[in-house]
Amino acid sequence: MLSETEITGKIHRKALDLGFSACGFASVEELTELRPEFQEWVDSGRAGEMGYLERNMDLRLDPGKLVKGAKTVISLAASYYYPIPQHIPGSPRFSRYALSEDYHKVLKALGHELLSWINTEIGPVRGRVFTDSAPIFEREWARRAGLGWLGKNGCLIIPKKGSYFFLAEILIDLDLSLSLPSSGLLSSCLLSSSSLPSSCGTCTRCIVACPTGALAVDGPMDPRKCISYLTIEHKSAIPAEFEGKWSDWIFGCDICQDVCPWNKKPLHSVIPEFEPRTGILGIAAETIENMDEAGFIQLFDGTPVERTGWTGILRNFAFLSGGAK
Ligand code: SF4
Ligand code: SF4
């Protein structure tokens, strides 16, 4: 019979075999200490039009309620980094994560594969896979599972691997050892008992580089000022105060990740679905300008860009061109 530590090691190896870049484990518990901070954040209005962040606060703070008998959070990170050609100034720019297949489907499928494997190889378990699909503090659980720290740009930073990652979790009613055999696995599976302290140090590159002042040295970011929020989540007109603050970004923004020294040598993705679509890379402004709904579907079907829809992309384009009011 396998020990908890051996089971944990096997799950970890399987996660990496499936293409995940890192995997860690944390005990399910209520995040009571986050409640006042989160409440204050919500009360400050920083959620903007993201009403879903305010709903289900109790579930968000207590993931044990999402899966009966849940004992462990398996936190998974998958790199989406593929090298892309240098951006041509003037052409509309999409955040890296939006250049390929929608990660929700891809990561969910991989997570389900891992869960099925656990059921077959380890024994019957009750579990659920999540990827940006339920009220879960994904980055906080990744931090607790020892994958990395939360940088001043708000991203999870994994040492020697960078921050271009999608996150997923499996909540499982299985007690897993939070320590692994000493077999070198620790390089990609750090443990909740050794959550990493921030290694941002005195660096402020992301804060200085952010064109809209969304980041702060000593406080949480303000999503309402973030280009990612304004071009994707914000459904009303983009406020006039942001006119001229950025150029080119039409869906999301990567500036605060691109300038981060921890992304000098980012871990490349091994997941083929995350390879950027050539039709989106280097797309010309005229293509967007003249695009009808059918053209939008042809280019962006199955990608995260569907979230804004055709009208959203046209709105963002018009804003860049100075025509949105
Ligand atoms: S994504 Fe862009 S706008 Fe948002 S915080 Fe980072 S640099 Fe600023
Ligand atoms: S740019 Fe500097 S401050 Fe910002 S997340 Fe990276 S290391 Fe931290």
Q: How far away, in angstroms, is 225 Cα from ligand 1 center?
A: 8
Which tokens hold the place of 48? 């903007």
Nearest protein Cα to ligand 2, atom 1: 260
Which tokens hold the place of 26? 């944390």
- Is any atom of ligand 2 closer than 6 Å to the C-beta of 205? yes
Q: Which of 96, 207, 215, 263 to mutate to test the pocket of ligand 1 (most atoms within 8 A of CB)?
A: 215
Q: How far away, in angstroms, is 138 Cα from ligand 1 center?
A: 19
Nearest protein Cα to ligand 2, atom 2: 203
Residues forming the active site: 132
Instruction: Name residue 216's beta-bridge partners.
Output: 219
Residues of the chain under the 50 pLDDT cut = 181-193, 324-325
User: What per-residue string of b and e applies to 111-143 under the rule 16 or more CB within 10 Å gives b?
Assistant: beebbebbeeebeeeebbbbbeebbbbbbbbbb
Map residue 149 onto helix, strand or coil. strand
Domain boundaries, the chain: 4-84+97-194, 205-263+276-320
CA triplet 39, 78, 304: central angle to 5 degrees?
70
Q: How far away, in angstroms, is 172 Cα from ligand 1 center?
A: 34
- Is any atom of ligand 2 closer than 6 Å to the C-beta of 210? no
The closest-lying atom of ligand 1 relative to the alpha carbon of residue 215 is 5
Q: Residue 34 and residue 128: Cα distance in Å, rounded?
A: 23
Residue with structure tokens 């940006």?
132
The closest-lying atom of ligand 2 relative to the alpha carbon of residue 209 is 1
The residue length of the chain stands at 325
Query: Which residues touch 139 (CB under 8 Å, ≥6 apart)?
Result: 150, 154, 155, 156, 167
- Is any atom of ligand 2 closer than 6 Å to the C-beta of 199? no
Q: Residue 177 and residue 26: Cα distance in Å, rounded?
A: 9
Ligand at minimal distance from the CA of 200 is 2
Q: Check residue 187 and give its pLDDT.
A: 36
Q: Residue 117 and residue 46: Cα distance in Å, rounded?
A: 40
Nearest protein Cα to ligand 2, atom 5: 151
Nearest protein Cα to ligand 2, atom 6: 260
Q: Check residue 44 and give its pLDDT.
A: 85
Q: Which of 228, 232, 316 to mutate to test the pocket of ligand 1 (most atoms within 8 A of CB)?
A: 228
**Burial class for 278, CB neighbours closer than 10 Å (0-12, 13-18, 19+):** exposed
End-to-end CA distance of the chain: 67
CA atoms within 13 A on the CB side of 202: 0
Question: What residues line ligand 1, using a CB cutoff of 6 Å?
Answer: 153, 210, 212, 214-215, 221, 226-228, 253, 255-256
Q: Check residue 179 and give its pLDDT.
A: 56
The closest-lying atom of ligand 1 relative to the alpha carbon of residue 227 is 3
- Is any atom of ligand 2 closer than 6 Å to the C-beta of 198? no
Which tokens hold the place of 122? 């380890």
Q: How far away, in angstroms, is 201 Cα from ligand 2 center?
A: 8
Instruction: Name residue 43's beta-bridge partners.
Output: none
Handedness of CA 94, 96, 102, 103 (dihedral sign): negative
